[in-house]
Amino acid sequence: MLIIETCHKDLSNCSNGSINLLDRGVRLLVGGKLGRHPRLAQVIGEFDELDVGIHRIGQIVEAYIEYANSGERFADFWIRTLLITGS
pLDDT digits (tens, 9 = 90+) for 75-86: 889 888 876 665
**pLDDT score, position 63:** 92
- Please report the sign of the dihedral spanned by the C-alpha atoms of residue 82, residue 37, residue 55, residue 51: negative
Report pLDDT for 83. Answer: 66
Average per-residue pLDDT for the chain: 76
Residue 52 within a domain? yes
* Tally of domains in the chain: 1
pLDDT tens-digit map of 16-45: 555 555 567 778 888 888 888 888 888 888
In a domain, 2, yes or no: no
The per-residue pLDDT for 10 is 52
pTM, whole model, 2 decimals? 0.63
Residue 20 lies in a domain: yes
Question: Which domain covers residue 54, as residue numbers?
Answer: 8-85
